[in-house]
Structures are given as C-alpha cells and as structure tokens.
Amino acid sequence: MISLIGPPGCGKSKLIEGLRHHGYRPLSISQAIRDTPGLPPSWRVKIKECQEDGFLVPDHIMSLVFNWALNEERQKRGLNGLVIDGATRKIIHAEQVLYLCGADDQHVVNAFIDLDPLICRERIIERLASDRREGRARLDDSSETSIANRFVEYGVHTLPTVDFLRDSGTLHARSCRFITIPGTYDPAQKLSHLLAEMGLEDLQVNAHSADRNSKKVAA
C-alpha cells in the first residue's frame, strides 16, 4: 500500500493517475468523507466549513472516516495495491495508518513529494485565477484566504508528520518504508522514481487477485 504526502499542489493527483496504469487503485479521503454513512448532519456542516476555509477536518471525524474506508477496501479487495492521498496530514493520522496496516501485516510505503510550498502556493493561486476567468467554482481553494490557511496547516501539522514517517521508515523498515520524490520532477519522472525506489516487483500489482496467499508486492 502506498500513502502519498506532500504540500497542496505538489502533483499527487497526477502521480495517482500514473499509478493507476500499474494496477494500483486510489482511495480518496475526500471521497470517503462524502461516502461514509451515518455521519451526523452537524459533522457534515463542520466538514464543509473546514474544506471551504482551508482547514483540516477534525481528528475524530478523520479517524471514523478512515476506519470505514479502509474496512470497505479490506472486505472488497484487500489493502494490497491501494494508493491513498490525504490520510497522513497529521501525526495522529499517520499513527492510525501504521497501526491498522500493521494489524493486517500490510507493508506501507510513505511517499513524500518534496516541493517548496511557495512554488505550490503559486500554482494553486494561478489555478484559482484561471477558475475565476472561466467561471468555475470549487469547494476548496476558493479564495486566497483558504489557500493561505491550507499552507499554514501544512507547515504546522504535515511537515512534522513527514519527519515522523521518515523516522518510522527507519525504525520499522520491515513493514514501513519512506521514499522521497523530488517535487521538481515532471509527472512521468515522479512515477518512474517511485516505482524504481520500490523495486521492479512492484510493477506486478494485481489489484483484483483473490489469492491472499500469493506473493505480495511491497506495497
């Protein structure tokens, strides 16, 4: 299983698209938030406010959503060959990922796209300007203020999480790896770098295999 981490606008979505072609299937935390059944209406209001204002969803909501989404995947196809974006933005989230995957004896690759947040912020502001010219509306990144808030959250919460995951990859090398992807690479180079770091065997992902006893890929 691969868990992607990096600043907003660093190219995670395009990397996920590339991984699709190698048999990996994406798990979007944003989509899981929309799909999770039984969330109280007040929670959904809070989620919408956080997304509009550029703040992270509260921990108790994220914990419930991630548990539900991971259980859904576990029951349908297992966790092997899964690529997740948005699950490890805080240390408490990363601990949950490592714990749940450890309980399944599932190897986790934490892939960090290392790109200067100032460059990423400029990209997102340019996208906002383009959306405004074209009359497109977005729930997130809908104002300069919400964009600024996202990068404050990244600096306060996600950067320390990157250090935590890097250390986890050293301490628990058998079950957890940490890979840094240069953010200046184009999408194809990011994909090639990640797959090369993971090893050739990871190109052989069969996301629909029902044979749990067959040889596992490293993620």
- Please answer whether residues 165 and 113 qualify as being in contact, where contact means their C-beta atoms are separated by less than 8 angstroms: no
Give the amino acid at 145: T
What would the DSSP string read from start to end of the chain? -EEEE--TTSSHHHHHHHHHTTT-EEEEHHHHHHH-TT--HHHHHHHHHHHHHTPPPPHHHHHHHHHHHHHHHHHHT-STTEEEESS-SSHHHHHHHHHHHHHTT--EEEEEEE--HHHHHHHHHHHHHHHHHHT---SSS-SHHHHHHHHHHIIIIIHHHHHHHHHHHHHTTTTEEEEEEETTS-HHHHHHHHHHHH-GGGGG--TT---TTSPPP--
User: What pLDDT is stored for residue 101 in this prediction?
Assistant: 74
User: What pLDDT is stored for residue 217 in this prediction?
Assistant: 43
Largest Cα–Cα distance of the chain, in whole Å? Answer: 53
Q: List, for the chain, all residue ranges whose pLDDT scores fall below the cut of 50.
A: 200-218
pTM: 0.84
Q: Ramachandran region of residue 38, left (φ > 0), alpha (ψ -120 to 50) or beta?
A: left
Tokens linked to 96: 């949950």
User: What pLDDT is stored for residue 170 in this prediction?
Assistant: 62
First to last CA, the chain: 4
Q: Which domains does the chain have, with CATH numbers?
A: 2-204 (3.40.50.300)
User: What pLDDT is stored for residue 206 in this prediction?
Assistant: 40
